[in-house]
A and B are shown apart, each in its own frame.
Chain A
Amino acid sequence: MTSEGRIEGVLRGQAPRVLGVLVRRYGHFDACEDAVQEALLAAALQWPATGVPESPAGWLITVATRRLTDAVRSDAARRRREGGLVADPTDAVPAPAQPGEPAPADEDDTLTLLFLCCHPELSPASQVALTLRVVGGLTTAEIAAAFLVPEATMAQRISRAKSRLQTAGVTLGMPPEPERTDRLAAALHVLYLIFSEGYTATAGPDLQRAELAREAIRLARIVHTLLPDDGEVAGLLALMLLIDARRAARAAPDGSLIPLAAQDRGLWDEADIRAGSALVTGSLERAPLGPYQLQAAIAALHAEAKRPSDTDWAQIVALYELLERSWPNPMVTLNHAVAVAMLSGPQAGLELLEPLAADDRIAGHHRLDAVRAHLLELAGDRERARSHYLRAARRTTSLPERAYLEGRAARLAGG
């Protein structure tokens, strides 16, 4: 790894721990977060020349504390100048830190910070942005680039999220049960959103977005280390690894999409598949069942088939039935229908799609048309398959999906 890469790794790992220390000492999540971000930027500039200090966390805490002190002082001075409330600035000024302060006691606030970033007071987009900055240690510019928006837009989104938490009086602390379970579920959902945002990205200017999938995996790994017995955490990590294992096979060099059945399975990442399969097998044996574990188990069955014809569709259908019974969702129904079609014929799959036409969550969605088209094609109804492919092509906002769907339709044109 290059020294820049190594430094970045150190910084990203330290970001949530350093912030945790500051917030526990001084409160003011918002101001502390800004101070830590500045300390990270300072380190990224200085460390390549000076080398990584002996205690990176101590260095970062010292610098961040200094920045926090400066910020509080200048804020107080500004308020005095503006004739506002005259408060004694020293009230809020943290005690000066000792240079080269030792690393904090091993009290890891990563999980607490993750829960804070995934607070129900925030919208999903804000949760995602704040998590990437606070827990992931990414800069605002990096997050903005990954989401293809200007830096100012992302900066505002993050600052709005932080002030919203402040207004709501949210403080750093582990929420009590049963709220804790809900917050973990929300946090896993945010990691999944970050992952999906990145895993579909294929080439060109979207390469940066692919980093998001890796970042989501890194964060899920951290959560799994902190909560090794949680089956859903393990399930989500396994699911991400198993899906990401197909990255190299999912698109042709020209960016065109390759469906699962046509992928070169030799390009699948075996190490990821082994790790994902082991994780999900282990958690299914020990932990209570959950939707991420079931989806990971399905992904593992796909991954273990050497050829598409080796796929254990009976087992996959059984898992989808479990999933639908306990955690119904139209996207699950779609995938279930495809599996049923593979096991029992396209007609059986098409019947499962029937109720979705009246489901507002998916009725106008291109995926429903795409799956219907695929099953109609399997059933030999070329004309209707073609018209559904075209409808799906018109409805998607993805250029490679549109090209793929139009290609399928074109193959069915004429005789």
Chain B
Amino acid sequence: MKYMLLIYQNPAAFEAMPAPERRALMDAAGAIVTELSESGEWVTGEGLAHPSAARTVRVRDGVPAITDGPFLEAKEQLAGICLFDCETLERATDIAARWPDARHWAVELRPLMHSSGAEM
């Protein structure tokens, strides 16, 4: 079963975080990536640039309207995603619970849709 982990951060709080603490956070995340790679569960993952670099695109009546900044106006913003393939929701939840950002902000776990279907 494939799950996407959506990692949320408060960008201001992350910027204000002392360097050693920030490093510890990155290292903790890196350790989980290594563990999942070794176990054959890791699929992919990426960190996102600061939300101020985001560009939101809306198309209305065929006309694109482009604004700078993220789609959702919230204190917490998407900071990265991971995709892993693990056997149970419990295992996926365990990984999510160990993700360091969950201690400061939150991570969200979402199962992926797939295109095979069972006979009804």
Which residues of chain B from 75 to 120 have any CB-CB distance to chain A below 8 Å in the complex? 85, 87, 111-120
Structural contact, A149 and B117, CB atoms closer than 8 A: no
User: Does A200 interact with chain B (Cβ within 8 Å)?
Assistant: yes
Structural contact, B114 and A397, CB atoms closer than 8 A: yes
Structural contact, A399 and B87, CB atoms closer than 8 A: no
Which residues of chain A from 368 to 382 have any CB-CB distance to chain B below 8 Å in the complex? 370, 374
Instruction: Tell me the smallest distance from the CB of A112 to a CB of chain B, in Å.
Output: 24
Instruction: Tell me the smallest distance from the CB of A33 to a CB of chain B, in Å.
Output: 16
Structural contact, A149 and B43, CB atoms closer than 8 A: yes
User: Does A169 interact with chain B (Cβ within 8 Å)?
Assistant: no
Task: For the complex, give the distance between the alpha carbons of A157 and B40 in Å.
Answer: 4
User: Does A398 interact with chain B (Cβ within 8 Å)?
Assistant: yes
User: Does A24 interact with chain B (Cβ within 8 Å)?
Assistant: no
Task: For the complex, give the distance between the alpha carbons of A370 and B120 in Å.
Answer: 8
Q: How many residues of A contact B (CB 8 A)?
A: 44
Q: Which residues of A contact B112 (CB under 8 A)?
A: 397
User: Does B39 interact with chain A (Cβ within 8 Å)?
Assistant: yes
Which residues of chain A from 92 to 150 have any CB-CB distance to chain B below 8 Å in the complex? 123-126, 129, 147-150
User: Does A209 interact with chain B (Cβ within 8 Å)?
Assistant: yes
Structural contact, B87 and A125, CB atoms closer than 8 A: yes
Task: For the complex, give the distance between the alpha carbons of A202 and B114 in Å.
Answer: 11
User: Does A153 interact with chain B (Cβ within 8 Å)?
Assistant: yes
Task: For the complex, give the distance between the alpha carbons of A328 and B116 in Å.
Answer: 27
A401-B85 in contact given A156-B37, A157-B40 (Cβ < 8 Å): no
Instruction: Tell me the smallest distance from the CB of B98 to a CB of chain A, in Å.
Output: 19
A257-B119 in contact given A123-B87, A149-B85 (Cβ < 8 Å): yes
Structural contact, A200 and B120, CB atoms closer than 8 A: no
Structural contact, A200 and B116, CB atoms closer than 8 A: yes
Q: Which residues of B contact A203 (CB under 8 A)?
A: 115
User: Does B56 interact with chain A (Cβ within 8 Å)?
Assistant: no
User: Does B44 interact with chain A (Cβ within 8 Å)?
Assistant: yes
Q: Which residues of A contact B111 (CB under 8 A)?
A: 397
A399-B115 in contact given A153-B85, A156-B37 (Cβ < 8 Å): yes
Structural contact, B115 and A255, CB atoms closer than 8 A: yes
Interface residues on B, range: 20 to 34
Chain B 56-74 interface mask (CB, 8 Å, partner A; 1/0): 0000000000000000000
Q: Which residues of B contact A209 (CB under 8 A)?
A: 116
Structural contact, B87 and A398, CB atoms closer than 8 A: no
A156-B119 in contact given A397-B111, A397-B112 (Cβ < 8 Å): no
Chain A, Cβ-Cβ closest to B85:
A149
Structural contact, A404 and B119, CB atoms closer than 8 A: no
User: Does B21 interact with chain A (Cβ within 8 Å)?
Assistant: no
User: Does A250 interact with chain B (Cβ within 8 Å)?
Assistant: yes
Instruction: Tell me the smallest distance from the CB of A374 to a CB of chain B, in Å.
Output: 8
Structural contact, B40 and A398, CB atoms closer than 8 A: no
Structural contact, B87 and A200, CB atoms closer than 8 A: no
Chain A, Cβ-Cβ closest to B118:
A200
Q: Which residues of A contact B38 (CB under 8 A)?
A: 156, 160
User: Does A205 interact with chain B (Cβ within 8 Å)?
Assistant: yes
Most buried by B among A156, A206, A367: A156
Task: For the complex, give the distance between the alpha carbons of A260 and B113 in Å.
Answer: 23
Q: Which residues of B contact A157 (CB under 8 A)?
A: 39-41
A401-B117 in contact given A150-B44, A156-B40, A158-B40 (Cβ < 8 Å): yes
Task: For the complex, give the distance between the alpha carbons of A398 and B120 in Å.
Answer: 12
Task: For the complex, give the distance between the alpha carbons of A402 and B113 in Å.
Answer: 10
Structural contact, B114 and A404, CB atoms closer than 8 A: no
Chain A 188-210 interface mask (CB, 8 Å, partner B; 1/0): 00000000000011111110010
Structural contact, B40 and A246, CB atoms closer than 8 A: no
Task: For the complex, give the distance between the alpha carbons of A153 and B40 in Å.
Answer: 5
Which residues of chain B from 17 to 62 have any CB-CB distance to chain A below 8 Å in the complex? 37-44
Structural contact, A202 and B41, CB atoms closer than 8 A: no
Structural contact, B117 and A246, CB atoms closer than 8 A: no
Which of A's residues lie within 8 Å of B, judged by CB? 123-126, 129, 147-150, 152-160, 200-206, 209, 246, 250-251, 255, 257, 259-260, 367, 370, 374, 397-402, 404-405
12 A-B pairs in the complex with CB atoms less than 8 angstroms apart:
A148-B114, A149-B85, A153-B41, A156-B42, A157-B39, A158-B40, A200-B119, A202-B117, A203-B115, A251-B117, A400-B117, A401-B118
Which of B's residues lie within 8 Å of A, judged by CB? 1-2, 37-44, 85, 87, 111-120
Beyond the given pairs A159-B40, A251-B117, A370-B120, 12 more chain A to chain B contacts, judged by CB atoms under 8 angstroms and listed by A's residue number, are A123-B87, A129-B40, A148-B2, A153-B42, A157-B39, A157-B41, A160-B38, A200-B119, A203-B115, A397-B1, A397-B114, A400-B116
